[in-house]
Every structure is written in structure tokens, then in C-alpha cells.
Copies of this chain bind each other. A is one copy, B any other.
């Protein structure tokens, strides 16, 4: 029976990190790993790992560790990666281009099947195996391919318009790199990514940390 326990956002954000490392372990032929070892690899305390993983049931063998394959499978099911989500990216500038070629998305089960832009120099190009189509045809491609998730890497000035177009075509979730709020119906899930946060955090830290000698 499917478990419907609510899991905190912080745990959900750590699951892909666990999952990616478990895949690396699997590739290396490692079957069992302790929370200590996993913690060392990831920079997370073993206590936190055990707490996170018991959130959705116990998979470990006491004194031995977690079965890597089994844990992978469980995380896939919890995150919902077995769905093999189809993804469309609007705005194939540098960032869109990088995301279209980002291998980790594929490893996690996300398949990019639509790329959209307005620039005639980019339309028609093959980017990571997908041909860029005009954004005016985005509705058609989303419906035809059954794309469920949209990524917005357009300039902020057109992001809302692109989001509207995505929602109208049947997109259910949006990952947006635009620095502004998108107005979407309640049932659409928007996750906003901001690449400038990391550098700003570092700047804050370097500016405010106690001076060493």
C-alpha cells in the first residue's frame, strides 16, 4: 500500500542528493553502505541520514548498513521518478542550453522532449538530441509529447507570458529561473531557482566572518 505520510521539504531536498550518490555507489559495485560512510561522502551527519530515511520506513540492516539498490528504488518511488516525467525548456540561451545538456536530469528519469525559443538562429538546432522549435508552437508540442513539467529560462520580461502558455497547454509543474513571481492557478506547482543565491551567501559569509590572523 502506498504511504502518504507528509515529508518535510528539507528531507525532499536531500533525497536527490542521496539518490545521486547511491547511483555512483551502485556503478562502483557497492551493495551495502553505512549511514556513517554515506554521511562522510555527502557531508551530512549519520544521525541526520538515519532520521531522514526512517521518515519513510526503515531499509537498513542494523550494524551493517543500507542496501544500496533497495534504497535507490525506494527513493525513486518516494520522489516519483518512476514516472519518467517529460520536460520542456523555454528559452534556449546559455542556461537553457546547459540544462538541455544536463545529464543528471536524465539520470534522475527526467526526459527533455521539447525546447523552445524565439530566436531564428537557435530554432532548428539540435541541442542535446532535441530540435529547438519556435515558442509559438510550444502548445502543440507540449500536447503532442505529453510534456508535464516546464522549465523557464527566458528573460524575466516574458516569463509570465511563457508560464501562461505552458499552463494553457497542460503543464502541471514549472521550474523557473526568472527572478519574479509567476501567477499560476493553484494546482500548478512552481519551484523558483535562483543561481545568484550561492554567490550572495558566500559574499555575505566572507564579509561578515570574524577576521582570522
Contact = CB atoms under 8 A, between A and B. Distances in A.
A90 B40 CA distance: 24
Copies in the complex: 2
A173 B206 contact: yes
A81 B17 contact: no
Contacts of A81: 200, 203
Interface string A163-205: 0000000001111000111100001010111111111111111
Interface string A28-53: 00000000000011110000000000
Contacts of A42: 180-181
Say which size band chain A's interface belongs to: 35 or more
Interface in A107-121: 108, 110
A198 to B, nearest CB: 4
A72 to B, nearest CB: 14
A180 B38 CA distance: 10
A16 interface: yes
Interface in A71-112: 78-81, 83, 85, 87, 93-95, 97-99, 101-102, 104-105, 108, 110
Contact of A196 (B4, B20, B40): B20
B203 A198 contact: no
Given A149-B203, A189-B202, A193-B195, 7 more contacts: A12-B204, A13-B197, A16-B194, A83-B206, A95-B98, A104-B195, A104-B196
